[in-house]
Every structure is written in C-alpha cells, then in structure tokens.
Amino acid sequence: PTPESWRRVDAYLTETLVGHDPDLETAVAEQHAAGMPAIEVAPVSGKLLQLLVRISGARRVLEIGTLGAYSTIWMARGLAPGGSVVTVEAEPENARIARANLDRAGVGDRVKIMVGRAADVLPTLEGSEPFDLVFIDADKESNTIYIDWAARLGRPGTVVVVDNIGRGGEVANPATMNPQVIGTQRGLELLARDPRFDATALQTLDRKGYDGIAIALVV
C-alpha cells in the first residue's frame, strides 16, 4: 500500500469505529503544546488497548511509559469497577501534563503515576497484587527488562502488550545498529523463548506509519 492509501484507510476506520472524544483530543493537544513528541498510540490502537482491558476483565493495569497519558486514558476508561492503572513515567514534566490530562478526562481517581526510571520503579511494585494487563511503551532499549518485570508482576493469564515492534520494517534487519531496534528484537526473542510467555505480533499501518504490536499471555 502507498502511504496515501493506508492513511485513508486509517482515517476511515478511525471515523467509523473510534470517533472523537474531546478529552482524548485535548490530551494530545496539551502533550504537543508541552513539547512532547507525537508518538502516542494511534486512535485505533488506543481503542484496541481499551478493548483488551475489557476482554481480559482487567482490574489492575500497569503501563510503562506514560508520555501525555493518551493511552492511559483509553485503558482507564475500560477498567472493571474498582479497577486502577499504575503508569510509570521517567520525565517529571511529562507526568505533570499527564496528571492534568487524566483529571480532565475524569479518570484521575483511577490512575497512579509513578515518576522515575521504570527499571528503578518496577522493583518497588513487587509484593503488590498482580497486574492483569501490562502495556510496555517506553525506551525500547530496555524492553527485555520490562518484559521480565511484566511476568514477575503478573500471574498466569496476565496480558502483555508491547508497542512499536515493527519499526518501519527494521525489526527484520539482523544487521541493524539501531539500539532501539536491537532492544525490540531482544524483547521479541525473550517473548519467544521464555516459558513464562506465549506470544504473537501484528504489523500495523496507521497514521503513525509502519510499525506493530506484540501481544503475549503469561502462562
């Protein structure tokens, strides 16, 4: 497909199945106004995350990489009654914008933002009630660390979603020197060989371009 055709299809699917929400659109606008990159998930993927939360009946969701909380809002709105999201963000300024976006969207009471490097924050969650769904969308170099923590902080049946596994096709380049792509490859290899997971992945073509998501079950 040409960029024109896949963007037209993404726009059609978004209009047909996702629609518009002022709080989500304001969250993106505030994120951009604060100088954060436009790397939030596409609307069709936000809705997919929300549906995965609902399909799995998740009450405890862990997100690694908050940015402006666009995906956080999507997932928080899919929680079962009494549910909550813990989202980890390395940049305090991002967390400040995210907090305002979550409160405006009416889900602030269901979301805890933990500020710090996820590799430092995740060990502090050990011993808490297991998470039902984990969304990994942070620095790709650390994907193996985050995937390992997803299993440790989850339970059999936990759903793990990893964003950005296609990387414009670079993921299939064994000679890549790009540390983000190498981190993505190592993460997928871990999902494949580690007996704690059963996993697959889908390529995506949406308004953000050519990329993909991995979906795993903790077994």
Footprint on this chain of ligand DHB (rule: CB under 6 A): 39, 137, 163-164
10 is in the binding site of which of Mg ion, ligand DHB, none (Cβ under 5 to 8 A by kind)? none
What are the counts of helices (DSSP H) followed by strands (DSSP E) for the chain?
A: 8, 7
Amino acid present at 45: S
Return d(Cα 166, Cα 74) in angstroms, integer: 22
For Mg ion, the closer CB: 38 or 219? 38
Taking contact as CB under 5 A, which single stretch among the options 23-31, 123-131, 139-147, 156-164 is the one that binds Mg ion?
Answer: 156-164
For ligand DHB, the closer CB: 88 or 196? 88
Residues 6 or more apart in contact with residue 127 via CB below 8 angstroms: none
Residue nearest to Mg ion (CB): 163
Contact call for residue 163 and Mg ion (CB under 5 A):
yes
Provide, rounded to whole angstroms, the least separation between the CB of residue 203 and ligand DHB: 14
Return d(Cα 131, Cα 151) in angstroms, integer: 9
13 is in the binding site of which of Mg ion, ligand DHB, none (Cβ under 5 to 8 A by kind)? none
Provide, rounded to whole angstroms, the least separation between the CB of residue 109 and ligand DHB: 26
Provide, rounded to whole angstroms, the least separation between the CB of residue 124 and Mg ion: 24
For ligand DHB, the closer CB: 132 or 163? 163
For Mg ion, the closer CB: 37 or 127? 37
Contact call for residue 94 and Mg ion (CB under 5 A):
no
Amino acid present at 122: L
Provide, rounded to whole angstroms, the least separation between the CB of residue 171 and ligand DHB: 13
Q: In 156-181, which positions are buried (b, 16+ CB within 10 angstroms) versus exposed (e)?
A: eebbbbbbbbbbeeebeeeeeeeeeb
Please provide the distance, in angstroms rounded to a whole number, between the alpha carbons at the two ends of the chain: 36
Q: 3-state DSSP helix/strand/coil percent for the chain, to nearest 5?
A: 50, 20, 30
* Tokens (6 digits) for 121: 């924050």
For ligand DHB, the closer CB: 83 or 149? 149
In the complex, the residues that contact Mg ion under the rule CB under 5 A are: 137, 163-164
